[in-house]
Structure 1
Amino acid sequence: MAEFGSGSGGGRRAVQRLLDRAVVEAGLPGIVAAVRDGDGEWSGSAGVADTATGRARHPDDRFRIGSATKMVVAAVVLQLAGEGVLGLDDPVERWLPGVVRGHGHDGALVAVRQLLDHTSGVHSYTEDMDRLSRFPAYTPQLLVELAMDHPPDFPPGTGWRYSQTNYVLAGMIVERATGRALEGEIDRRIARPLGLEGTYLPVGGDPTIRGPHARHYTKMTDPAPDAAVHDATELDPSMFWAAGGMVSTTGDLLRFLAALLGGRLLGPAEQQRMVRTVPTVDWIADSAYGLGISALALPCGTTVWGMGGALFGSWTYAYGSPDGAHLVVLNTNGDWGGGGWADPIGVFTDVLRAEFCPGR
C-alpha cells in the first residue's frame, strides 16, 4: 500500500483499506485513488502497475479512461452551444447530412442533445463486436456505418439506451462545426486551460500510451473465472475515439471534474442543461444520466456526479459532490474481480460509500 499527499485521516484510512482489499481479495493487479475535499488532496494505491517488474502503482500513472471520455466530449459540445456555434436542439442532419440514415435511422429526427443523453435511439456499433473486430483500422464514419446497418433501438426521444455511436456522432459534429480535429479541440478547450498534462485523445490508431503508465491487464475476452490474463496496454483506440478513447491520470480527472462541476467550464445555461437528467434503463443501479454525466444515488442519500469508464484492462470512476468541492477518482489496471466483487464496480462503489457516507 502507499499513501501520498494530505487529507483527512479517518475516511482516507477506510479508502486505503479498500484499495488493499481490491488487490488481496479481488485479485486485481493494482489500483490507485485520488481524493479532493476542503482539507486538500490525498492519493493512495495498492498493487502493481506492471506484473513483470513489480513496479508499484503511482498517482501519476496514465491510463485509458474509457467512457469517462464522454464527459469531456460533452463539455466541448456544450461550450460550442454556449458560444452559439451550434444548438443542442439542432438536428444531427444539419451537421452531418446523410450520415444517420438507413434501416429506419433518420438524422433529421435526432437532436444533438439526444446524442449526449442517450435518448437518440441510435444503435450502438459495439453491439456488433464480431463484425467490428474484422476491420484492420477504424474511422468515425466506419463506426457509424456499422451502426446504421441495424435498426434504431427506439424512436428518438422515446427511450434511453447507452450507445457508443452517439458520442462518435457528437465528435464528428464538433469537427464539422469547428473545422478542427476533435483531439485539438479537447486540448485547446479543456486540457491546456486546466493544465491537464497527462490528458489527451490519441491521434488515429496510435496504440501507445505516452508517458509513465500502468500496464492494462484484461480477461474481457473470456468470462471464465480461471481465464488467462492478457496485456492490452497497446491497442488501437480509434475503435472507441470520442466514445472512450482518451488517456488521463487521477490528478487530471480531479482537476477536470472540479472545473466541470464547479461551473468553470460552462456558462450557467449549459451547466443547468448538463445536469438535467433522464432515467436510465438496464444500466447502473440508482443512476440517472444528463449530458455526458451521470448522477449516482448512494445508500446514505448522497448523490454524486461524474462518470465511469472501462476499456480492456482499465476501469475508471470519477465522481464528486454537485459543486465539485469533494471528489474521488479511481482506476484499476485489471478488469475482473473476485471475493464477492463481480468486477471493479463493486470496489468503486464501496470506495464512494466510504468517502461520501462516512460511518455508514
Structure 2
Amino acid sequence: MTPSRGLTGAATALTVALAAGALAAPASAAPRPDRHEATRRALDGIVAEGVPGVTAQVRDKYGSWNTASGVGDLRRGTPRGRHDRFRVGSITKTFVATVLLQLQAEGRIDLDDTVGKWLPGVVEGNGHDGDAITVRQVLNQTSGIADYSRVDAFARKVFSKEFFQHRYDTWTPEQLVKLAMSKERAFVPGSDWGYSNTNYIVAGMIIKKVTGNEYGDEIRWRVIEPLHLNATIAPGTRATMPRPSSRAYGKLPMDPEAKVYDVTELNPSFAGSAGEIISDSDDLNRFYSALLGGRLLPEEQLAEMKHTVSRGDRGGEYGLGLIKLELDCKTVVWGHDGDLHGSSNLAMTTEDGRHSLALNMNGDWTGDADPVVDAEFCGT
C-alpha cells in the first residue's frame, strides 16, 4: 500500500469438496514446451527494469508452472525462490469482499445496509455520513470515504524515514478510520469512484460486528482452510515473514533521497483488512480460480461481485473487491493488484477460472507487470 498506488452456511457448503490438485491434461493433449516462453521473457524484463527479483506461477489446463528471476537477498546474492511467500497488499480486498458476500448469502447482512447500521457513529465528520453509505459502496469504492493513508500524520510514520522508528507500531482499525474522518470526504456517495483503503478497514470492522470474529479468522475458516491455502495467513501484528520468503526492498515515497531500503520486517496492522495478508503465487491462483469458477460463492453473489463500475483514468472496471480488465487481445481477466512496502503483486484469472497468473516483485519503485499479463493471456 502506497499513498499513490492502489494499483458459513450455504457458502461454506460450496467449498467442502474443493480439489487441491492441479488440473490434469487429457492424454491426447500435449503442452507446447515453450508455451510460457513469452511470459518468462516478460518476467526477466521486470528484473531488467531494476526490480531485485520476481516470482510467479501460472495455472492452466496442463497444471502449474512456477518460475523466478533475479535476486531474493541483495546482501547475500541469493536468487528469488519459486515458492516464496510475500505480502500481497490490496489483494487482501478480494478475500474480505468474498467473506461479506458469503455473509450476504447466509442472510446475515445485506449489501444495501448502511454502514451506520453496523457501525453507528464510526463514519462521521467532515462530510462523512455512515447512514448515507452502503456496504456495497464500501466494497466497490464508490463511498467517497477519505483514504487514511493520505493523512499527513499517518503518511509521515509509514512513508517517510520515520518508518524506521514506527515500523513495529500497532495500529487499530478504529485509529485508521478516525484518521480518515479528519479529512473531507472525497465525493458524495455513489457519485464517483475513488480508491480508498479506508473502505476495506471499514469492511473488516463490519465483518467483526456481524460475526463477532476478527476478519482474518473468518477468512481462515471460510476461504483458507477449505481451499487448503497453506501459505496464506492474516498476520495481524506479526512483523516477520514466514519461510520460504525473500527480502523486500522499497523506496519510501516521502524520502527525498529516494534510497532503497530493506523493509521486510514491519507490523502490517497499518494495512489491516485493506492489505495485510501474506500468501504465495500458488495459493493466489487457487483462490482466484475457485472464486471465478463459482466454488466460493453462490451464483447470485458471484454475479454481484462481478457487477462493475468504471475506474476512470486507471483503466478497467471495479466490482466488489475485484478488478476486471479487457486485454488488447479481447481476453477478459479478473483479479486484483496490491502493494505493500517492498512488495508489488498482481493476480489475474480468466472468467472461467481455468487460466491464472500470480506474481510478486520484491521491489516497489519500478517494474511493469502489464507485459507479463499480455504475454501469458494473449501470447504476445
TM-score (normalised: structure 1): 0.91
Q: Which amino acid aligns with 2:241?
A: I
- The CA deviation at 1:103 is 1.1
CA drift of 1:223 comes to 7.4
Q: Name the counterpart of 1:80.
A: 103
TM alignment of 1:153-164, pairs within 5 A:
153-164=186-197
Q: How far apart, in 2, do the equivalents of 1:143 and 1:7 lie? A: 49
> Secondary structure at the residue paired with 1:20?
helix
Q: Deviations over 1:97-146 (max 9, x none)?
A: 11011111111111001000001111110111444545743100000001
SS of 2:113 mapped into structure 1:
coil
Matched, 1:54 2:77: yes
- Is residue 7–residue 40 contact of structure 1 (8 Å, CA) maintained in 2? no
**What residue number does 1:221 align with?**
253
Q: In the alignment, which of 331, 341, 344 is matched to residue 312 of structure 1?
A: 341
**Are 1:335 and 2:364 matched, yes or no?**
yes
CA distance in 1, matches of 2:246, 2:338: 16
Residue 41 of structure 2 corresponds to residue 17 of structure 1:
yes
Structure 2 gaps of 5+ residues are 1-29, 158-165
Taking the aligned partners of 1:37 and 1:318, their CA distance within structure 2 comes to 14
Match of 1:3 in 2: none
State the alpha-carbon separation in 2 of the partners of residues 20 and 223 from structure 1.
28
Partner amino acid for 1:26?
E
The answer to whether the 8 Å contact 1:273/1:291 transfers is yes
Paired residue for 1:201?
A: 234
Kindly provide the amino acid, as one letter, of the partner of residue 191 in structure 2: T
SS for the counterpart of 1:46 is strand
CA distance in 2, matches of 1:290, 1:280: 10
Tell me how far 1:153 sits from its aligned partner.
0.8
Q: For residues 25-80 of structure 1, give each alpha carbon's deviation from its aligned partner in whole angstroms, at most 9, with x where no partner exists.
A: 21211101100111111011101211122222122211000000001000011111
Structure 1 unmatched ranges of 5 or more: 1-5, 338-343
Deviation sequence 1:213-269 (CA, Å, 0-9, x none) = 111000133677x83210010012010000011100000001101111101000111
2: CA distance, partners of 1:53 / 1:7: 37
- Secondary structure of the residue aligned to 2:373 is helix
Q: 1:99 aligns with which of 107, 122, 128?
A: 122
Q: Which residue of 1 aligns with 2:279?
A: 248
Question: Is the counterpart of residue 40 in structure 1 residue 63 in structure 2?
Answer: yes
Q: Secondary structure at the match of 1:49?
A: strand
Which one is further off, 194-203 or 14-23? 14-23
**Greater mean deviation of Cα atoms: 271-280 or 328-337:** 328-337
SS at match of 2:34: helix
Look up the match of 1:349.
370
Q: Which residue of 2 aligns with 1:168?
A: 201
> 1:302 deviation in Å?
1.5
AA aligned opposite 1:155: V
User: How far apart in 1 are the matches of 2:31 and 2:53?
Assistant: 22
Give the AA of the match of 2:81. H
Report the Cα distance in structure 1 between the residues aligned to 2:189 and 2:276, rounded to whole angstroms. Answer: 26
Structure 2 residue 131 is the aligned partner of structure 1 residue 117:
no
- CA distance in 2: counterparts of 1:189 and 1:31, whole angstroms: 30
1:330-350: CA deviation from partner (whole Å, max 9, x where unpaired): 11001123xxxxxx2x2x100
2:5 aligned residue: none
Aligned-residue offset at 1:11? 3.1
Q: What CA RMSD, in Å, does the superposition of the two structures yield over aligned residues?
A: 1.6
Aligned position for 2:350 = 321
Q: Residue 277 and residue 47 in structure 1: after superposition, are their counterparts in 2 closer, same or farther (change >3 A)?
A: same
Report if aligned partners of 2:151, 2:183 keep a CA contact under 8 Å in 1. no
Number of residue pairs matched by the alignment = 341
Which deviates the most, 258-267 or 47-56?
47-56
Tell me, yes or no, if the aligned pair for 2:88 and 2:278 is still in contact at 8 Å.
Answer: yes
Does residue 1:230 correspond to 2:261, yes or no?
Answer: yes
Instruction: Check whether the contact 2:156–2:254 (CA below 8 A) recurs between aligned residues.
Output: no
Indicate which of 291, 297, 306 corresponds to 2:326: 297
